[in-house]
């Protein structure tokens, strides 16, 4: 009997079949798990993008209005605007007088706050009466209606636009006075109560400032701490015991709920050091504390993965410990350290709870000029918008999420690029 036949007994074959089946099952589980996560991600992205993409364009109105003469130093621009609009849509004075709600409805189809602001500006340099050309964003209602987010077929009581308003909007569209443009305001404007004027500028600026401050603090301290702990800290005696206590606490710090960091920031930076609420400086300080343990843990893992033989070799050649560590260990661990730092930064960018605690949830209508000015952050802005009532906030919330994702991807892309460059330099 040959060797192979003697191995292939029925019992052995049965065992083999069982092993193969187990492997097949495991493969199946793996595929199912991947399919599940891909589906979940795709679903999430689809729902965000399908709701949010339309927010990147906005309807604008080109209106040629005839503004009547007015007397007095502080004219009521809303009334002037309403009257001019009424004339535009050929509504008689009688109709206006009969139905008090007409003026309100007229003002609802355009961004009334923007239009009155333009009129007021113009009124300061020119006579107030006469022909005016307004290029202004449509109101959020008009915008949503034109984008098809409000169903024309619904009963008038069930939709936020009235029959009259639909008539007017149709008239504007027919005469070619509506255009759809890229929504620059979404990125250039600060927050506003009017969805059509609301933008992410304050939030983006706040997030960027926070991230810069937090990284500038947490990166050098975290990486430095990791290098010290890994290579220089005492390992024996009382010093060693102290160090292991510190290490345990750094690990625990990573598991502390982030709202606690917000509370700490409130108590220390705002109450004790007297810094203002809602400013990116405090946000950055708090998130630096949040990032610190993540960076230390990731950097230590990266450093520990580098074989000691390299530092030993350098030491045996007469390098000091500092030279051995910084010439050989740190450069090799740099890609890992970088990856950990990016994870920390991405976490900080998405952090909401601690920012709520330190008052970065304020309604900020100015683009902050420095880290000492009130600002919000992207995730907080998303949180704020998602709670607002108007239909238009839904797409804007999704658009803000897209913006946050894009910023996140940019940071990750930058990190991957840096890492690749570092590794290529190593390989050469």
Partner 1 sequence: MTDKPSSDRPKFTCRDVSVRYDGFSALSGIDIDISDRSVTALIGPSGCGKSTLLRVFNRMNDTIANARVSGTVLMDDIDIYGPDIDPVLLRARVGMVFQKPAPFPRSVYDNVAYGPRLHGLSRSRADLDGQVEKSLRRAGLWEEVKDRLKMPAPGLSVGQQQRLVLARALAIDPEVILMDEPASSLDPIATARLEALIEELKTRYCIIIVTHSMAQAARISDKTAFLHNGALIEFDQTENMFTNPTDTRTQDYITGRFG
**Beta carbon nearer to partner 1, 155 or 427:** 427
The distance of closest approach from Cβ of residue 245 to partner 1 in the complex, given in angstroms and rounded to an integer, is 17
String of DSSP letters for 310-336:
HHHHHHHTT--HHHHIIIIIHHHHHHH
The distance of closest approach from Cβ of residue 228 to partner 1 in the complex, given in angstroms and rounded to an integer, is 14
The distance of closest approach from Cβ of residue 427 to partner 1 in the complex, given in angstroms and rounded to an integer, is 7
Q: Which of 139, 203, 202, 199 is nearest to 172 (CA)?
A: 139
**Beta carbon nearer to partner 1, 169 or 226:** 226
Q: Within 13 A of 159's CA, how many CA atoms are on the CB side?
A: 19
**Beta carbon nearer to partner 1, 271 or 313:** 313
Indicate left, alpha or beta for 418 from its phi (over 0: left) and psi (-120 to 50: alpha): alpha
* Residues that bind partner 1 in the complex, under the rule CB under 8 A: 234-236, 240, 307, 309-310, 312-321, 323, 327-328, 332, 426-428
The distance of closest approach from Cβ of residue 302 to partner 1 in the complex, given in angstroms and rounded to an integer, is 15
**Beta carbon nearer to partner 1, 127 or 318:** 318
Give the Cα separation of 402 and 240 in Å (integer): 47
- Positive or negative CA dihedral for 402, 404, 405, 409? positive
**Beta carbon nearer to partner 1, 156 or 331:** 331
String of DSSP letters for 344-377:
HHHHHHH--HHHHHTTTTS---S--SSTTS----
**Beta carbon nearer to partner 1, 100 or 317:** 317
String of DSSP letters for 74-120:
S--HHHHHHHHHHHHTT--HHHHHH-THHHHHHHHTBTHHHHHHHHH
Give the Cα separation of 270 and 277 in Å (integer): 7
């Amino acid at each position: 009997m040959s060797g192979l036949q003697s191995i292939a007994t029925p019992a052995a074959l049965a065992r083999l079949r069982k092993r193969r089946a187990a492997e097949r099952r495991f493969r199946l589980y793996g595929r199912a798990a991947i399919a599940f996560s891909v589906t979940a991600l795709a679903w999430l992205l689809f729902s965000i993008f399908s709701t949010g993409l339309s927010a990147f364009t906005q309807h604008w109105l080109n209106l040629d209005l005839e503004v009547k003469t007015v007397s007095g130093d502080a004219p009521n621009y809303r009334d002037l605007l309403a009257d001019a609009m009424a004339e535009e849509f050929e509504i008689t004075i009688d109709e206006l007088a009969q139905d008090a709600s007409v003026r309100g409805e007229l003002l609802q189809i355009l961004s009334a706050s923007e239009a009155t602001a333009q009129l007021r500006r113009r009124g300061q340099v020119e006579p107030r009466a006469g022909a005016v050309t307004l290029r202004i964003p449509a109101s959020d209602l008009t915008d949503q209606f034109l984008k098809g987010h409000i169903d024309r077929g619904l009963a008038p009581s069930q939709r936020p636009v009235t029959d009259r308003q639909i008539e007017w909007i149709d008239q504007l569209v027919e005469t070619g006075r509506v255009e759809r443009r890229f929504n620059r305001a979404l990125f250039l404007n600060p927050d506003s109560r009017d969805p059509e004027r609301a933008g992410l500028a304050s939030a983006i600026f706040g997030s960027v400032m926070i991230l810069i401050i937090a990284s500038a603090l947490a990166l050098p301290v975290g990486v430095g701490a990791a290098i010290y702990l890994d290579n220089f800290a005492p390992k024996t005696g009382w010093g060693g015991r102290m160090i292991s206590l510190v290490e345990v606490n750094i690990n625990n710090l990573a598991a502390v709920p982030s709202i606690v960091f917000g509370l700490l920031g409130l108590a220390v930076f705002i109450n004790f050091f007297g810094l203002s609420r809602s400013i990116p400086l405090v946000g950055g300080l708090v998130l630096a504390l949040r990032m610190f343990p993540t960076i230390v843990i990731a950097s230590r893992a990266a450093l520990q993965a580098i074989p000691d033989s390299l530092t030993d070799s350098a030491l045996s050649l007469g390098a000091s410990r500092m030279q051995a560590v910084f010439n050989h260990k740190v450069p090799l661990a740099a890609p890992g350290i970088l990856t950990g730092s990016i994870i920390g930064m991405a976490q900080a960018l998405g952090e909401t709870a601690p920012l709520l605690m330190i008052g970065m949830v304020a309604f900020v209508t100015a683009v902050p000029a420095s880290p000492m000015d009130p600002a919000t952050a992207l995730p907080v802005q998303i949180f704020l918008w998602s709670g607002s009532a108007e239909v238009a906030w839904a797409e804007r919330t999704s658009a803000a999420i897209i913006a946050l994702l894009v910023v996140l991807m940019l940071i990750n892309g930058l990190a991957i690029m840096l890492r690749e460059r570092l590794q290529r330099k190593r390989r050469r």
